[in-house]
Amino acid sequence: MKVKILAGLAVAALLVHQYMIWSYAPVAQSGLVQKIFYMHLPCSWWGLVSFFVVFVSSILFLFKREDTYDRIAGAAAEIGVVFATLALVTGSIWARAEWGHWWVWDPKLTTSLIMWYVYAGYLVLRSTPMGRDRKMLVCAVLGIVAFLDVPLVFFAAKLWGSAHPDGVARQSSGMAIKMWHTVFAGLIAFGFIWGGILLTRVKQLRQQADLDAKLVWDE
């Protein structure tokens, strides 16, 4: 029921968001290509939220050793990698128009790419043939260690300087209020999508674990 509600809210919010992107938010000085920003930023933010959920769930698993936290961490990591991939792709398209290059080895972009590889490796680890309890333990440790790169991504522009604007730089650049409305509408819409996918994936992983346990019992 919760998933259906979130799905309905996601559809409605996405329709509103698309309307705001193309009919409400003004065209920036760089032209229509700037509007990809309204997809890029929500993907980036919810990707980071996903990895924070992996971090917290991994800590809770180490303390409580409950399978639920391992499943939440796994589901959040999968969603995070998808959102991070979309952020990298949309960012590259935007960079090609703004900077004339698909990619530059900028601190913000480099730490984001490293983060993507680390969590992709985390997903590979979860699929390796290893003892169930040992795998959950190793994944929990990696889920905690991997999060060390996330603050670096978030604060890279402040720490080392970056062609990629951070939140403060963008605020001081004079974005129109309608642009900010569109940004927040996107964050809300993608939040509904994120929540619905997370709940669905956790349920799937629970059902898979129950099925695996039944098969082992039958043998």
Residue 109 has pLDDT above 70, yes or no: yes
Break the chain into its structural domains and give their ranges.
2-218
Phi, psi dihedrals of residue 106, rounded to the nearest 5°: -90, 145
What's the pLDDT band for 171 if we cut at 50, 70, 90? very low
Q: How confident is the model over 140-170, as pLDDT tens digits?
A: 999 999 999 888 887 766 666 665 665 444 4
| Span 2-218 CATH architecture | Up-down Bundle (1.20)
Per-residue model confidence (pLDDT) at position 131: 83
Q: How confident is the model at residue 137 (pLDDT cuts 50, 70, 90)?
A: very high
Other CB atoms within 10 A of residue 91 CB: 23
Q: What is the pTM of this model?
A: 0.88
Token couple for 207: 């059902």
CA separation for the pair 76, 140 (Å, rounded): 13
pLDDT digits (tens, 9 = 90+) for 58-106: 999 999 999 999 999 999 999 999 999 999 999 888 888 877 778 878 8
